[in-house]
Chains A and B, each alone.
Chain A
């Protein structure tokens, strides 16, 4: 996902820019598949074994079952042992978007190639290459999320089962096994000033960095991960299809950690986790360094039962502390400088109910707030953005008794609603009297999408 306002450049977004960002947000909310038919072919599993909704992806990420979580932790290497399978899959997403303001569009919005699967018992991965419709049927090809793994399975440490692995990935949190972190669920709050761990933030790290983590699963329940990231050179970002205006800047002394306790009770699953990311960032790259630290926690619960009725709940709360490198002056009040320190806060609460792993509903409440800053957050000094996502979907295939396990399909209807933007529900860009006014609800959008994967 992308984002609306650059917190380092004090400006109002153009309407066209804002609408295109919203369209992208909706597109990703509806079509970001994780149920890769290549994995189904490799394992003999149905998509529904790993995903609560048999297609995965969509409005709240892959919605992994505990079995899917373990498949990811095991480096995507598990197999039915029945010969080599080509580790590739395709996805096409078409959609009809109806924004509250502006024209409706119907188009092929995304075409994706997945290179996903095992190399051998210890090496596997996930690579997504996407062609995104940027309007007028022109497509921008980008490298999306990457997660390459080396894993040592079936170890015994202190008499307990253990798994040790290394992941090389380009999106902090994407590799996480639990359905909670924004990069993993693709469901971070839309924001005018979000956290580094939120891919919806401006100058996001998502898909513009490269990093490696060492991780371990101990006694089936305890998960730990420690790693580091560095941003890709702007030339590399450009070659990978990313606009350099979204450069996350130069990063140094970057550390990432993640710890979680996960309990699989077969009919139920719950997890409690903490996450952290700290870096010194130069944006622009020749500018001074600022310190940015994210600290968060998350809770998830799944009722799985016999898989007839599945309920998944998650709550994620990430606080970002900033020591700004510069203190811009107010253009209005002489001598007033922006604060030297600040904090932003992203929270996502999400519930997904799935019936027969075919019919589902997703409800999310997304909030992004920050400390008051009259200079950085124009026009009201308040970055508060509050939104909701409602999505219903139907997945006809992808189960054990489906007539094919080689292809899958999903039809979804998604409504994205804003109740607050820039700290206000009315006149969110502070238009002067007589000028056209944009209210938060004018950012709302309704979208119907059809996705096929094979």
Chain B
């Protein structure tokens, strides 16, 4: 009984924190329109990246990119810089990476991209990429 009386408020507190975290999480994680993001992908990304699984172009396949560790496709020849990054492509990481020139974020990358400065397009794009898995 004592245990319960302590853990219950803790559970409530945890739930509240998670709920508030979700409520006040950065807008870009949830605000995008995936359909519009598909068009952004066609304009901004599709020449160098495919969303087909196993289809690499000049850049690696973006199938399942959200949540994927960087540089982990076995059949793509990554730059040394990307091999050494050891980060995970979370929505937040993609948002930060794509909002500026790629070579600014990661000077050794082969990726030539000037960045997407329109925040709505960026949100839409990441929402679209989140659906590709």
On A, residues with C-beta under 8 Å from B are: 43-45, 49, 65, 67, 78-82, 266-267, 304-307, 400-401
The chain B residue with its CB closest to the CB of A161 is B112
- For A79, list chain B residues within 8 Å (CB): 58
Decide if B50 touches A400 in the complex (CB within 8 Å): yes
Asked, given contacts A44-B57, A45-B57, whether A82 binds B75 with beta carbons under 8 Å apart, the answer is: yes
Decide if A44 touches B56 in the complex (CB within 8 Å): yes
User: How many Å lie between the Cα of A43 and that of B42 in the bound state?
Assistant: 18
B43, B47, B50, B75: the one contacting A267 at CB < 8 Å is B43
- For A305, list chain B residues within 8 Å (CB): 43
Asked, given contacts A305-B43, A400-B46, A400-B50, whether A45 binds B76 with beta carbons under 8 Å apart, the answer is: no
Decide if B57 touches A307 in the complex (CB within 8 Å): no
Extra pairs beyond A44-B56, A306-B39 (17, CB < 8 Å): A43-B57, A44-B50, A44-B57, A45-B47, A45-B57, A65-B47, A67-B47, A80-B56, A80-B58, A80-B76, A81-B56, A81-B77, A82-B56, A82-B75, A82-B76, A266-B44, A305-B43
Decide if A49 touches B46 in the complex (CB within 8 Å): yes
Which A-B residue pairs are the 3 nearest by beta carbons?
Answer: A81-B77, A44-B57, A306-B42
B 1-57 contacts with A by CB, 8 A? 39, 42-44, 46-47, 50, 52, 55-57
- For B57, list chain A residues within 8 Å (CB): 43-45, 49, 80
Secondary structure of the A contact surface, majority rule = loop
- For B52, list chain A residues within 8 Å (CB): 400-401
6 interchain pairs (CB within 8 A)? Answer: A45-B57, A80-B76, A266-B44, A306-B39, A306-B43, A307-B43
Decide if B77 touches A307 in the complex (CB within 8 Å): no
The chain A residue with its CB closest to the CB of B57 is A44
User: How many Å lie between the Cα of A400 and that of B55 in the bound state?
Assistant: 9
- For B43, list chain A residues within 8 Å (CB): 266-267, 304-307
Interface residues on B, range: 10 to 19
User: How many Å lie between the Cα of A359 and that of B57 in the bound state?
Assistant: 24
On B, residues with C-beta under 8 Å from A are: 39, 42-44, 46-47, 50, 52, 55-58, 75-77
The chain B residue with its CB closest to the CB of A80 is B56
User: How many Å lie between the Cα of A97 and that of B112 in the bound state?
Assistant: 46
User: How many Å lie between the Cα of A183 and that of B57 in the bound state?
Assistant: 30
- For B58, list chain A residues within 8 Å (CB): 43-45, 78-80
| Least distance between A181 CB and chain B CB atoms (Å) | 24
User: How many Å lie between the Cα of A389 and that of B24 in the bound state?
Assistant: 60
| Least distance between B55 CB and chain A CB atoms (Å) | 7
- For B55, list chain A residues within 8 Å (CB): 44, 400
Decide if A307 touches B76 in the complex (CB within 8 Å): no
User: How many Å lie between the Cα of A425 and that of B30 in the bound state?
Assistant: 66
- For B39, list chain A residues within 8 Å (CB): 306
| Least distance between A264 CB and chain B CB atoms (Å) | 10
User: How many Å lie between the Cα of A305 and that of B42 in the bound state?
Assistant: 9
User: How many Å lie between the Cα of A307 and that of B42 in the bound state?
Assistant: 7
- For B46, list chain A residues within 8 Å (CB): 49, 307, 400
Q: Which of B39, B43, B47, B76 is most buried by chain A, counting CB atoms within 10 A of its CB?
A: B47
- For B56, list chain A residues within 8 Å (CB): 44, 80-82
Decide if B42 touches A81 in the complex (CB within 8 Å): no
The chain A residue with its CB closest to the CB of B39 is A306
The chain B residue with its CB closest to the CB of A400 is B50
| Least distance between B60 CB and chain A CB atoms (Å) | 9
The chain B residue with its CB closest to the CB of A266 is B43
The chain B residue with its CB closest to the CB of A44 is B57
| Least distance between B71 CB and chain A CB atoms (Å) | 13
User: How many Å lie between the Cα of A78 and that of B46 in the bound state?
Assistant: 16
User: How many Å lie between the Cα of A400 and that of B58 in the bound state?
Assistant: 14
| Least distance between B111 CB and chain A CB atoms (Å) | 12
- For A401, list chain B residues within 8 Å (CB): 52
User: How many Å lie between the Cα of A79 and that of B57 in the bound state?
Assistant: 8
User: How many Å lie between the Cα of A252 and that of B32 in the bound state?
Assistant: 63
User: How many Å lie between the Cα of A212 and that of B57 in the bound state?
Assistant: 31
User: How many Å lie between the Cα of A82 and that of B56 in the bound state?
Assistant: 9
User: How many Å lie between the Cα of A45 and that of B61 in the bound state?
Assistant: 12
The chain A residue with its CB closest to the CB of B77 is A81
User: How many Å lie between the Cα of A133 and that of B6 in the bound state?
Assistant: 91
User: How many Å lie between the Cα of A49 and that of B49 in the bound state?
Assistant: 11
| Least distance between A68 CB and chain B CB atoms (Å) | 9
- For A49, list chain B residues within 8 Å (CB): 46-47, 57
